[in-house]
Amino acid sequence: MKLSTNELKELPLHDGFRLRGLNTTRLETFLDAAFAFAVTMLVISIGDIPESYDELIAALKGIPSFLACFAAILIFWTGHRRWSRRYGLEYSAALLISLGLIFVLLVYVYPLRLIFSAMFSWISGGWLPSQFKLQHASELINLFIIYGLGYAAMAGMMALLHIRAKNVCGVLGLNKLELIKTDAEIISWSVQAATGFISALFALLMPKGIDVFAGFVYLTLPVSQPIIAIRYAKKAARLNGS
């Protein structure tokens, strides 16, 4: 149902965006539970309480990989929460995409844990333990492919959620500033999806010896994401100044 002018005026503002989804929905509750469950699957020494000092130290060495995994999951949780607050959509295509996001998340969580534990073990020269024992370099390549496709799928779904919101901008009553911020989210998540997909392709197609550097493709994100944010912040500033 289309929001009236009076309803839009009464909506609270956050960062220049009118919040249309302040009420917690069943979908949001389900999503929060799924994200929480995914995090519990990452907890160090889950189901295995250390019984000695050495076991405690070994468990604590898993903190860096757990922290990296937690941060990766948090990015998607905060992204979906922001989307829910801004648009308040919970029907048809938005519902299916959100459920798809949960499905991929729960499948993606183990490759996420394994690749970060393997990465920190490699960086530390084996001092930090890895729960994933690599027998051949090809196994690492396959892990990069699985991780890249999972990351691309989740980021792609976040982009689709924002595209869906833009498609019903008339119903939501999005103003020009909100459309700019929506476009920024679409581009940001699309670039993240492309980065994961390119990393998977890099691992799949590059010659042996070069393919192991597929993980370094993600180092472009700390460059691309600020550029996108600055570009659309300038658009928003020009709109406010006009």
Q: What is the pLDDT of residues 144-177, one digit of tens each?
A: 898 899 999 999 999 999 999 999 998 899 999 9
Contact (Cβ atoms closer than 8 angstroms) between residue 33 and residue 42: no
| Total count of domains within the chain | 1
Predicted confidence at residue 109, as pLDDT, reads 83
Range(s) of the domain holding residue 221: 12-241
Predicted confidence at residue 9, as pLDDT, reads 83
Q: Considering only 10-14, 53-57, 143-147, 206-210, which range has the smallest mean pLDDT?
A: 53-57
Residue 215 lies in a domain: yes
Residue 6 lies in a domain: no
Partners of 14 in the beta sheet? 17
pTM to 2 decimal places: 0.87
Predicted confidence at residue 5, as pLDDT, reads 77
Residue 3 lies in a domain: no
Residue 37 lies in a domain: yes
Whether the per-residue pLDDT at 23 is higher than 90: the answer is no
Residue 198 lies in a domain: yes
CA gap 135, 73 in Å, rounded = 28
Residue 2 lies in a domain: no
Contact (Cβ atoms closer than 8 angstroms) between residue 87 and residue 20: yes
CA gap 3, 93 in Å, rounded = 19
Predicted confidence at residue 208, as pLDDT, reads 82
Residue 220 lies in a domain: yes
Residue 5 lies in a domain: no
Residue 47 burial class via C-beta count within 10 angstroms: exposed 0-12, middle 13-18, buried 19 and up? exposed
